[in-house]
Amino acid sequence: LVRLLHGRERELRDCHGIQFHVTGIASRRLGWIADPAGLSVSLLDSAAVSARPPAASRDLTNVRDWLRVARADVLFEATSLNVENGQPARDHIRAALLGGAHAITANKGPVVHAYRELRDLAKNAGRQFLFESAVMDGVPIFSLFRDNLPVLHLRGFRGILNSTTNIILSEMEAGSSFAASLAKAQALGVAETDASYDIDGWDAAVKVAALATVLMGIPTTPDRISRQGIRELSADAMRAAKQSGRRYKLVCRAERVGDAVEARVQPEILPSTDPMAQLDGSSSIICFETDIFPNLVITENNPGLDATAYGMLADFVRAAKSDPRSDHTRLPNRPRQA
């Protein structure tokens, strides 16, 4: 994300009137590091930042003080997924919104566990809570419905939303072992920190819950989604299916039933004519069933990690442009602090 921000720095300034400094970075290992004057990219890329943190970081022990010292206008939150309660991302985002910063996350946890609370908090604070990268790595899904498809009725959707299992299934069909296939997904950086979240269908279930919660307006937590992962699938079964012109895929489905949503994640054997069967590698697909567009399909072919970063950057532009403190029609006097 930092590399992408700096790569697009001139376009952000010249085309959108947005200037920024990175004034803070934090992780479990690094601790809370802040410098309101700005941290250099080379420092962020190296271990030096934790070995010799800026003086302003001394004594920082929590997210509230860190945001205050960094004088943050925008928080980018990208901690690991916590399926049970969305923490610590929920607390990080809440602290940002209460402290007057926009909150942008790639983390699905706070979306399924605290969407309404954080949305309302953002609205009351006049800030943005944005999460485009949480599902399909930054492909504009949430903003598509929010900004471009007003009063459209979403009846349901189906899709393949977990890259790690899609890579594993493709590799195993081609003869690789389960362990080697998982190692490939991990080397590409797409697997969750705890890969059992992918393999057991939790990541896909959280994405389904996030889409149902936000796009269908039905608060849904992952434990309410019928879920079966890919552990029980054998390589022999997958190869046999492929020889008969069919493929196993971990398929997500959700359907509105009255005021509720019925949803499931499970391996399905698909005919080769199904667009979902043609998906390989880290690709994702989603088919929305709406009252106007019966089958609105979005496919993302083999995205890299920069796609997730791009979703956060696009949210950053949305947040900056919505901010009454900035006048993006001319160069702002004070750079945004990210």
Ligand X SMILES: NC(=O)c1ccc[n+]([C@@H]2O[C@H](COP(=O)([O-])OP(=O)(O)OC[C@H]3O[C@@H](n4cnc5c(N)ncnc54)[C@H](OP(=O)(O)O)[C@@H]3O)[C@@H](O)[C@H]2O)c1
Residue ranges binding ligand X (CB under 6 A): 27-30, 78-81, 88, 106-108, 133, 137, 189-190, 192-193, 305, 308
- Rounded Cα–Cα distance for residues 161 and 203 (Å): 8
Phi then psi dihedrals of residue 238, to 5 deg:
-70, -40
Buried b (16+ CB within 10 A) or exposed e, 17-49: bbbbbbbbbbeeeeebbbbbebbeeebbeeeeb
Least distance between ligand X and beta carbon 29 (Å): 3
Q: Which is nearer to ligand X, 252 or 270 (CB)?
A: 252
Least distance between ligand X and beta carbon 293 (Å): 25
Least distance between ligand X and beta carbon 294 (Å): 28
Q: Which is nearer to ligand X, 18 or 106 (CB)?
A: 106
Phi then psi dihedrals of residue 133, to 5 deg:
-80, 0
Q: Which is nearer to ligand X, 90 or 127 (CB)?
A: 90
Q: In this structure, what token pair is assigned to residue 205?
A: 């279930």
Least distance between ligand X and beta carbon 302 (Å): 12
Q: In this structure, what token pair is assigned to residue 190?
A: 């797409």
Give me the helices (H) in the chain, please. 2-7, 9-16, 41-44, 48-51, 63-70, 89-98, 109-125, 142-143, 163-173, 178-187, 196-199, 202-215, 235-243, 305-322
Q: In this structure, what token pair is assigned to residue 104?
A: 């942008």
Least distance between ligand X and beta carbon 212 (Å): 18
- Rounded Cα–Cα distance for residues 240 and 231 (Å): 17
121 with 282: CB under 8 angstroms?
Answer: no
CA 253 vs. chain centroid, Å, equals 19
Q: Which is nearer to ligand X, 204 or 270 (CB)?
A: 204
Q: Which is nearer to ligand X, 23 or 133 (CB)?
A: 133
39 with 23: CB under 8 angstroms?
Answer: yes
Phi then psi dihedrals of residue 229, to 5 deg:
-90, -160
Q: Which residues are catalytic?
A: 207
Phi then psi dihedrals of residue 306, to 5 deg:
-65, -20
Q: Which is nearer to ligand X, 77 or 323 (CB)?
A: 77
SS3 209: helix
Least distance between ligand X and beta carbon 137 (Å): 5
